[in-house]
Amino acid sequence: MTEEILRVENISKRFGGVVALNNVSMSVAKGETCCLVGENGSGKSTMIKIISGVYTPDEGDIFIGGNHYKKLTPIESIREGIQVIYQDFSLFPNLTVAENISINQQLASGKQFIKWKDINRIAEEGLARINISVPLDVTVETLSTADRQLIAIVKAVLADARILIMDEPTTALTQKEIASLFKIIDDLKSRGISTLFVSHKLNEVTEIADRTVIFRNGVKAMDQDAKGLDVKTMEFYMTGRKIETESISFGKVDITSEPLLQVENLNLKHGYFDINLELKPGEILGITGLLGSGRTELALSLFGVMPADSGKISVQGKEVKIRSTEDAIGEGIAYVPEDRIREGLFLDQSINDNIVVGIIDRMVSRFGFLKNTQKRIEGENWIKRLELKTPTGALPAKSLSGGNQQRVVLAKWLAENPKILILNGPTVGVDVGSKADIHELIRSLAREGLGILLISDDIPELMQTCHRILLMRGGRIAEEFKREEITENQLNTELIGASAVNG
Amino acid sequence: MEPKPAKTSMVNRGLFSMRPVVAQIDRQTILLLGVFVALVAFFGFTRDTFLTERSITSMAFQLPEIGVLALAMMIPILTGGINLSVNAISNLGAVLAGLFLVKLVPQEVVSAQPALYVLLAFSIVLVIGVVTGIINGLLVGYIGVPPILATLATMTFFTGISTGLTGGKTVTGFPDQVGYIGSESFLTIPIPFIIFVLVTVLTYILLFQTSFGFKTRMMGSNPTASMFSGVNNRTVIMRVYIVSGIFAAITGILVMSRTMSAAIEYGSTTYVLLTILICVLAYIVPGFGNVFNMFLAVLILQVISTGFHMVLLGVRGSSFFKDFSWGVLMILIFIINYFMRGKKAQE
């Protein structure tokens, strides 16, 4: 048996009345790539924070390299070689690559003056250790997400990491970048550095894991060798139910009907060029492309956030001017944004208030007073309709899991009763169970006659919802596919092919 | 698409439902009530003169000015902004109204119909509140200047206008009718205090019973999300600073009426800091504000001010001790808040 480097036993952690972890044990062996999988709210993050010393468990023991801890402080955790790479990487954007890499050593040395020669030497050594090259003298803010992640990894390796914990490391990466990240993880493995890889992208897990641990509702649902473990089995353990993908019913689109939305020769400088598209009632039109392909800019133009420079937008055959979000909403266009937390939600405000914010002007009495009761009832109707899991709509939106938060954003827009719904990455950061529900909701909305523009780079998602898929590349619509005429693999190849063109 | 129309008539019989009024009582309310009771008890036991009718009446005459001004500060803070020019607006309004009564209109005309001209003068103050509010709103909402810089600039600008017009001198010689608001009582309740209560109730209604208040609070929570939700942030900001300007102008009228004068140095920066202190005491943060707590915080400051004044009567440097005690109180509240909310923040 291989040497065990980390073991936690019978860990429990409660927050107020909520049990985040209940009697969970797990271990990581030397050089092992262990994937920790689970839906949002299953206890993954809590476990990471316990291992890194941020939280103290209510019960249980932590063993690292043979040392026993009841309480682990962050400093002890770092001394034991546990390094966490958070989603924001904790880098200093205004400092150079070299400074970022060497800052820990500089601080640890306790010297009052900085030797620039040392900074560059430490940074070069670090980069050489994982065999990558990044220019040393550029500031980190100019780097791509993938490069920033590499810098964070280099920092961790230089701090003599024995276990590298990566929290959802692939969220903002392209397929190519993910592949090179996996190569680095393998490389670290050959040097005996273990990786605890936290993710809910199951196809990635099958690719990288030696062993897979699945959490569900604060307990360990599965812990086994990753060989022969398929996505379906993992989904079952994650959600406790089978996800039906076969029995999808797509609404019929009447191709002779008048288009809901028509876009002709739309242009936006530094965004997209010469866009033409048509959306019929009941149709779900997918728009895909890599980051920077212009897909988000196009959506923002249709919603009035970044008005187009030239071109024509028509809604139900009538040409319209969309210069602001109010214009767009006035034309019955709704937009569910990419960045749910920043653009979609008022995290500290109640769920009800989040739902009614767009229609608040309709909830005013003759004397100008708000109808607070109607507001509450409207909110609770939507909570029921979208099967939001919450005891009451009076709780703040931040109390919800990712999937339920996305339902709040959807509810906000459905309450407006839109004709055209633009969804940008509707299931990013949403767990598998909620994802299937949201897809069914999207299809049912289309069956009711809404026109839906679905922007996504999640290929299975596009294949399970869209009637047609447009592929954007360098700001132009490069290709159009009918769902029946293409397979997931072909679409994947096309999308990655686009990355070669984009550079 | 739309959920079935809700039955609202059962609960919503009044002009607006009363539920949110109860929701105004929170942990901070209990903390402030505790502090208030403790302070009143302390000064009441140590000073015989503290809980007398005379002292209570005098407090009720003094606190409305800072109270209304604090509400003028509160509303911009709810949006994530601030209005440092509140006191400058009060004084500018008072100075202009004062000059109108004393210099602009001939004295014999004023004394012929004093009530009319006093009303006109007060209207001028309110108009100044609106105009200055529009200037702040334009700078913050439309040009995008950070509120703290924009209102610092307008604070200096408005004070500069007042100084230029008066040459720094105090404007006096108003008709007696000006003093009516500031010195009379209605059913033994001082009129300034009644005005303060009315403005407090008005603020509550604005914030919690109108869509303007709802949008204000949502925008304060997350301006990007409110923009994506179709809220016109600029209009909201504009209205917020206009309301703030009007409240500051009301303070101007109260000051003018109580002192029978108008001057640039009245209140000065101390008032601005005090209003911020009140908002901190009442735990006003972007998106969340409690009008009841504001009221309590104003009472607490007045009790401290009067109490210390009595305790230290005749002692040298007594005004220093008042500032000192406000500072100590602010730090204490921070510490108590840390322990009350610290655990919550960790989770």
pLDDT at B300 over 70: yes
Do A123 and A78 share a structural domain? yes
| Domain shared by A367 and A354, yes or no | yes
For an interface test with B, the pick among A367, A372, A382 (most B C-beta atoms closer than 10 Å) comes out as: A372
Give the number of other CB atoms < 10 A from CB of residue A85: 20
Tokens matching residue A380: 């609770």
CA-based torsion, A277, A283, A288, A292: positive or negative: positive
Q: Write out chain A residues lying below 8 Å of B208, CB-based.
A: 370, 372
Q: Which residue in A293, A258, A178, A303 sits closest to A449, CA to CA?
A: A258
Residue A277, token pair as written in the block: 């598209």
B8 to chain A: closest CA residue: A374
Tell me if A115 is assigned to some domain. yes
Give the three-class secondary structure for A93: coil
pLDDT in tens, B49-98: 788 888 888 888 889 999 999 999 999 999 999 999 999 999 999 999 98
Minimum CA–CA partner of A46 in chain B:
B347
Is A370 close to B4, i.e. CB distance below 8 A?
A: no
d(CA B146, CA A101): 34
Classify each residue of B212-239 as buried b or exposed e, where b means 16 or more C-beta atoms within 10 Å of its C-beta.
Answer: bbbbbbbbbbbbbbbbbbbbbbbebbbb
Confidence of residue B314 (pLDDT cuts 50, 70, 90): low
Contact B8 A344 (CB under 8 A): no
Strands (E), A129-193: 163-167
Mean pLDDT of B184-206: 90
**What local confidence, expressed as pLDDT, does residue B318 receive?**
62
Nearest to B211 among A344, A347, A361 (CB): A361
DSSP codes, B175-228: -GGGHHHHH-EETTEEHHHHHHHHHHHHHHHHHHHSHHHHHHHHHHH-HHHHHH
Predicted confidence (pLDDT) at residue B5 exceeds the cutoff of 80? no
Indicate yes or no: CB of B230 within 8 angstroms of CB of A448: no
Given a contact cutoff of 8 angstroms between Cβ atoms, the answer to whether B118 and B175 are in contact is yes
Q: What does the pLDDT read at residue B125?
A: 94
Residues A174 and A272 in one domain: no
- Band of the pLDDT at B151, cuts 50, 70, 90? very high
Residues from B contacting A (CB-CB < 8 Å) are 1-4, 6-8, 11-12, 15-17, 19-20, 205, 208-211, 213-215, 217-218, 221-222, 224-232, 287-288, 347
Tens-digit pLDDT profile for chain A (503 aa)? 468 888 999 999 887 666 788 889 998 988 889 999 887 667 888 898 899 888 888 889 999 888 888 888 888 888 888 888 877 777 888 888 888 888 877 776 667 777 778 888 888 888 887 777 788 888 888 887 788 888 888 888 888 888 989 888 877 677 777 888 888 888 888 888 899 988 877 888 888 888 999 988 888 888 888 887 888 788 888 877 665 555 566 777 777 778 888 888 888 888 888 888 888 888 899 998 877 788 888 889 999 888 888 888 888 888 888 888 888 888 889 998 878 888 888 988 889 899 988 888 888 888 788 888 888 888 888 888 888 878 888 888 888 877 788 889 889 888 888 899 999 888 876 776 778 888 888 888 888 888 999 998 878 888 888 888 888 888 888 888 887 787 777 777 777 664 444 43
Query: Based on the domain organization, do A151 and A229 belong to the same domain?
Result: yes
The answer to whether residues A139 and A192 touch, using CB atoms and an 8 Å cutoff, is no
Domain end, chosen from A215, A239, A263, is at A239
Assign residue A69 the CATH number of its domain: 3.40.50.300
Contacts of residue A337 in chain B, CB cutoff 8 Å?
228
Return the number of other C-beta atoms located less than 10 Å from residue B90's C-beta: 34
- Do A82 and A148 fall into the same domain? yes
- In-domain check, residue A119: yes
Q: Has residue A95 been placed in a domain? A: yes
Mutate to test the interface with B, among A296, A357, A376 (most CBs of B within 10 A): A357
Q: Hey, of B4, B227, B229, which one would you mutate to test binding to chain A, going by the most A CBs within 10 A of its CB?
A: B229
pLDDT at A181: 85
**Which chain A positions have a beta carbon within 8 Å of B228's beta carbon?**
303, 305, 325, 335, 337, 343-344
Q: Do A369 and B205 touch (CB under 8 A)?
A: yes
Please name which of A171, A174, A169, A131 lies closest in space to residue A152, comparing C-alpha atoms: A169
Residue A49's closest chain B neighbor by CA?
A: B347
What pLDDT, on a 0 to 100 scale, did the predictor assign at position B18?
44
Give the residues across from A35 on adjacent strands: A197, A212
**Contact: B8, A364; criterion CB under 8 Å:** no
- Residue A391: other Cβ atoms inside 10 A: 8
Helix (H) or strand (E) holding A127: helix A116-129
Sign of the CA dihedral running B40, B44, B47, B53: positive
DSSP secondary-structure letter at A360? G
Written as six digits, the tokens of A334 are 């709704």
Same domain flag for A122 and A265: no
Which of B3, B6, B229 has the CB atom closest to A357's CB atom? B229
Q: Which of B18-27, B98-107, B154-163 has the highest mean pLDDT?
A: B154-163
**Of A343, A365, A416, which has the smallest distance from its Cβ to B225's Cβ?**
A343
Pairwise CA distance, residues A423 & A299, whole Å: 9
Answer yes or no: do A232 and A263 share one domain: no
Query: Among residues of chain B, what percentage have pLDDT more than 70?
Result: 87
> How far is residue A408's CA from residue A382's CA, in Å, rounded to a whole number?
8
Residue B7 has pLDDT above 70, yes or no: no
Residue in A353, A357, A363 closest to B231 by CB: A357
Q: Rounded to whole angstroms, how far apart are CA atoms A478 and A472?
A: 5
Q: Looking at A417, A448, A471, which one is the last position of a domain?
A: A417
Helix ranges (H only) for chain B are: 19-23, 27-46, 53-78, 86-99, 107-112, 114-137, 147-166, 179-183, 191-209, 211-221, 223-228, 233-259, 268-281, 291-311, 318-346
Enumerate the residues of chain B whose CB falls inside 8 A of the CB of residue A377.
6-8
What are the C-alpha distances in Å from B297 to residues B20, B37, B196?
20, 12, 13
pLDDT at B13: 36
| Confidence class for position B341, pLDDT limits 50, 70, 90 | low
Q: What's the gap in Å between the CA of B182 and the closest CA on chain A?
A: 32
Q: Which two tokens stand for residue A385?
A: 């309709």
Distance from CA of A384 to the nearest CA of B (A): 10
ipTM exceeds 0.90: no
- Report chain A residues whose CB lies below 8 A from the CB of B4: 381
Same structural domain, A42 and A82: yes
Last residue of a domain, one of A182, A216, A239: A239
Query: Do A136 and A72 share a structural domain?
Result: yes
Report CB contact under 8 Å: B210, A329: no
**Torsion of the alpha carbons at B72, B75, B76 and B82, rounded to the nearest 10:** 50
Q: Is B230 left (phi over 0), alpha (psi -120 to 50) or beta?
A: left
Q: Which site among A366, A370, A376, A452 would you substitute to test the B interface, given the most B Cβ atoms closer than 10 Å to its Cβ? A: A370
Asked whether residue A22 is domain-assigned, the answer is yes
Pairing of strands A420-424, A333-336: parallel
CB-based contact A326 B11, cutoff 8 Å = no
Q: What 3-state class would DSSP assign to A312?
A: strand
CB contact under 8 A, A326 and B232: yes
One domain, residues A62 and A186: yes
Count of CA atoms in the C-beta half-sphere (13 A) of A194: 25
Locate the chain A residue with the closest alpha carbon to B285: A348
With CB atoms and an 8 Å threshold, state whether A342 touches B17.
no
B208-226 pLDDT per residue, tens: 888 899 999 999 999 988 9
What DSSP string describes B331-342?
Answer: HHHHHHHHHHHH
Q: pLDDT (tens digit, 9 = 90+) per residue, A158-217?
A: 888 889 898 888 776 777 778 888 888 888 888 888 999 888 778 888 888 889 999 888
Considering CB atoms only, which of A342, A377, A448 is closest to B8?
A377
pLDDT in tens, B20-53: 555 567 778 888 898 899 988 988 888 777 888 8
Domain residues for the domain of A382 are 350-417
Q: Are residues A302 and A441 in the same domain?
A: yes
Q: Is residue A249 part of a domain?
A: no
pLDDT score of A503? 36
In A, what residues contact B, Cβ < 8 A? 15-16, 303, 305, 324-326, 329, 335, 337, 342-349, 353, 357-358, 360-361, 363-365, 367-374, 377-378, 381-382, 385, 412, 414-417, 448
- For residues A425 and A411, membership in a common domain is answered with no
Q: Check residue B1 and give its pLDDT.
A: 40
For B228, the closest of A337, A363, A377 (CB atoms) is A337
Nearest-CA distance A343 → chain B (Å): 4
**Cα angle A331-A337-A341, degrees, rounded to a multiple of 5:** 140
The predicted pLDDT at position A2 comes to 67
| Number of folded domains that form chain A | 3
Residue at A342 is within a domain = no
